[in-house]
Chains A and B, each alone.
Chain A
Amino acid sequence: MNGTVLDFEKPLVELERQIEDMRNFAVTENFEALTEEIRRLERKAERLRREIYSNLTRWQRVQIARHLQRPHTLDYIELMMSEFFELSGDRAFKDDKAVVAGLARLDGEPLMVIGHQKGRNTKENLMRNWGMANPDGYRKALRMMKLAEKFRMPVLSLIDTPGAYPGQGAEERGQAEAIARNIFEMGRLRVPIVVVIIGEGASGGALGIGVGDRILMMENAWYSVINPERCSTILWKEKDKAAARTPDCAEALQLIAPDLLRLGVIDRIIPEPVGGAHRDYQASANALKACVVEVFNELRDIPPQALIDARLEKFGQMGVFEEISDE
C-alpha cells in the first residue's frame, strides 16, 4: 500500500475502508441494522471526496500525476484501441523502452501512437527507465512519425515523463540534438498530430514528442519547463529550505491544466474520474478516447499545408512580451 495512498487522501481512504469492512460484515452476518449506518458513511465519504478533490493544490495534483497506479500509455492503448501492433527501435542504436510506439486502430481508423512509458514497480521501471527517454527514444518516436507521414496516418502522442534522461550515454548520443530534431520535424510533419499530456510533462523531455495541431491535457496532469523540486533547488540552495518550498514552487510555476489553458498552451482539458485517473481506468480511457476521436475528426479534412501553417501560427504566437517606445 505504501506509496499508493497520497497523504491528503488518507482520511478518505480510511473512511472507504471502514465502509467496505462494514459492508462485508453486514453481508456475512446478515445484519440489516448496519445498512442505515453504511448509507450515512457513504454520504460522508462523498462529501469528503468532493471537498478534497475540488480544492487540490498544484503540488497535490503533481502527486496524483505521479501516482504509481496511474494509467500509463500502454494502459490507455489497451483500453482505447481495437488493435495495436507494437513497433520497436530507432534503426540506429537500440530500442529505448522508455518510449513505446505502434500501429493502432482507433474508432475503426488506423493511426500511429507514440508515448512515454513508465513502469508500475521497480522491475518494470528499470526496464522503462522511469519513463525517462534517451536520445534513442526520441529517434524511435521520430522514425514512427515519419512512417506515419509516409502512409498518411495521423499521429497520437501521449506524454508522461519526469524528464529526458540525464546520463553520460544520453549526452554522448546527443540528447539535445535528438529533442531539437523532433521538435523541428514535428513542426513540419504533413499529417495531423494530437498530443495529450496524460501524467507528467517535464520540460524538453516532454516537448520532444509534444508538438502538434491540438494539445490536450488530462485533468490531473502537469506540464512545465522544470519540475517543482528542481525549481526549488535552483532558487533555494539549502536542501531543507528547498524541500520546504517545493509546494510553493509548484504554485509559482503554474503547471496544472487550467493554468495552461489560460496561458494558451493547451486546447482542452480531459476530465478524470473523481480522485484521479487511477480510480477508474476504463472511465479515464473512455474520456480520453472520446476527446481524441472528436479532435481527429476536426483535423481530418484539413490539407497538409494548411495543417502545418496553422501549427506554426499556433506555436509562433506563444509568449508574453511588450514593446516599449523609444525615449
Chain B
Amino acid sequence: MDWFKKPNQGPKPQKKRETPHGLWLKCEQCDAILNRLELERNLGVCSNPKCRYHFKIGHKEYIQLLLDPDSFEECDATLVSGDPLQFREKQRYPEYLKQYQERTGLLEAAVSGTGRVGNRPVCLALLDGAFLAGSMGSVVGEKVARSIQRSIKTHWPLIIVSTSGGARMQEGILSLMQMAKTSLWLTRLAEARVPYISILTNPTMAGVMASFASLGDITIAEPGAMMGFAGPRVIQQALGTELPSGFQTSEFFLEHGFVDQVIPRYELRAALMKILGFFPERE
C-alpha cells in the first residue's frame, strides 16, 4: 500500500467530499484511512505527519478553535437574501437558497458577531463553504460591512475567516457591488487605525479574494489552501499547458509576497493571540 504517494501537492478541489456515515474515511490528499472522531479532535487535519492535509471545516469549528470558550455572540443573524434579479435560469434562486438553508441549517454563507481571543474582545466574520460555496451576495456583503462597522465603533480588532468561490452569480451586478461595499468600509477601518487580520482558508477565490480577503493589515493562510483571482481551469484553458504543481496555493502566495505567514489550523489561535499582543487595546 502506497499511503504517502502524493505529499505536499496541495488539495484537489475537483474531488467530491465523501460523506459516508461510517467511522472511517480516506484522506483527500494522502489516501490514509482516518478515524472520523480522531479527525474531528484534530480539527480536521490529517494525522499523517507527512501529509497534514487540512479538510474543509465549517464556521462553527473555526469559532471553537479561534475564540475563548462560549465567548461568541452572533449579530445580524436574521439577514436573508432577496431575489433582486428574479433569477430563474436553470433553477429559481429562492428555491436554490431554500435547499441550502435546509441542507446546512444556515440562512446564508456568512456568520458574524463578537467574541474574545485570550480575553481580548474582537469582531469576527466567517464565511461558510457549505452554503452555496461561500459565495458572496448581498447578505454576505452586508454582514461583512456590519462587522467592519462594529470594529470601527468598538475599536476591537477585526478578524475575517474567508472561504468562497467568489461573488454570487444569481444576484448579478449586486454581488459584484459587495466587493466595493466591503472594501470601501475597510477604508474607514484603516482611518480608525483598527487592525484587521484576514485568515484565508480553502478555497478563497475571485470576488472575495479580490476584495476584503486581500485587504488585511496582516494576512494568514492555512496550509495548502487554494486561492487567487481566476480558477485554475480557466487559466489552464487560456494557457493551453499544464500549470505547475502547487500553483495558487497558500505557499505559492506566500512565496510571491501576498500572504504574511502560512499557519496550520491548530496554531491559528496562538498566532492570533501573539499578533493581537502587538496592538494595544483601545477604549
Contact = CB atoms under 8 A, between A and B. Distances in A.
Interface of A: 164-168, 170-177, 179-181, 183-184, 187-188, 203-204, 207-208, 210-211, 223-226, 231, 234-236, 245, 248-249, 251-255, 259-260, 263, 265, 308, 311-312, 315-316, 318-326
B228 A176 contact: yes
A308 to B, nearest CB: 8
Contacts of A226: 167, 169
B16 interface: no
Interface stretch (B21-29, B53-61, B173-181): B173-181
B177 A183 contact: no
Contact of A166 (B90, B176, B210, B234): B234
Contacts of A165: 238
Contacts of A315: 177, 180-181, 184
Interface stretch (B112-120, B136-144, B153-161): B136-144
Nearest to B233: A166
A106 B211 CA distance: 32
Contacts of A236: 90
Given A171-B248, A225-B173, A312-B185, 17 more contacts: A167-B230, A170-B229, A171-B252, A172-B252, A174-B214, A176-B210, A177-B210, A183-B184, A226-B169, A235-B89, A245-B89, A253-B172, A260-B173, A263-B174, A318-B174, A318-B178, A319-B137
Contacts of B244: 168
B185 to A, nearest CB: 7
Contacts of A318: 138, 174, 177-178, 180-181
B131 interface: no
Given A319-B138, A322-B82, A325-B78, A183 B180 contact: yes
Interface residues of B, number: 67
Across the A-B interface, the 7 shortest Cβ-Cβ residue pairs: A319-B138, A166-B230, A320-B82, A187-B184, A175-B229, A252-B89, A180-B214
B215 interface: yes
Given A166-B230, A187-B187, A181 B214 contact: yes
Contacts of B79: 321-323
Contacts of B187: 184, 187-188, 308, 312
B173 A316 contact: no
B180 A166 contact: no
Contacts of A176: 206, 209-210, 213-214, 227-229
B239 A321 contact: no
A259 B86 CA distance: 12
B230 to A, nearest CB: 3
A224 B214 CA distance: 21
18 contacts: A166-B231, A168-B235, A172-B252, A175-B228, A176-B210, A180-B214, A180-B215, A184-B186, A184-B215, A210-B180, A211-B184, A234-B169, A235-B89, A260-B173, A315-B181, A320-B81, A320-B174, A323-B80
A180 B181 contact: no
Interface in B206-247: 206-207, 209-215, 227-231, 234-235, 238-239, 243-244, 247
B180 A321 contact: no
B6 interface: no
Contacts of B83: 320
Nearest to B90: A235
Contact of B138 (A231, A249, A312, A320): A320
Contacts of A311: 184
Contacts of B107: 324
Nearest to A250: B89
B266 interface: no
Contact of B179 (A183, A224, A259, A265): A183
B188 interface: yes
B180 A211 contact: yes
A249 B89 contact: yes
Contact of B145 (A181, A224, A316): A316
Contacts of A183: 179-180, 183-184, 210-211
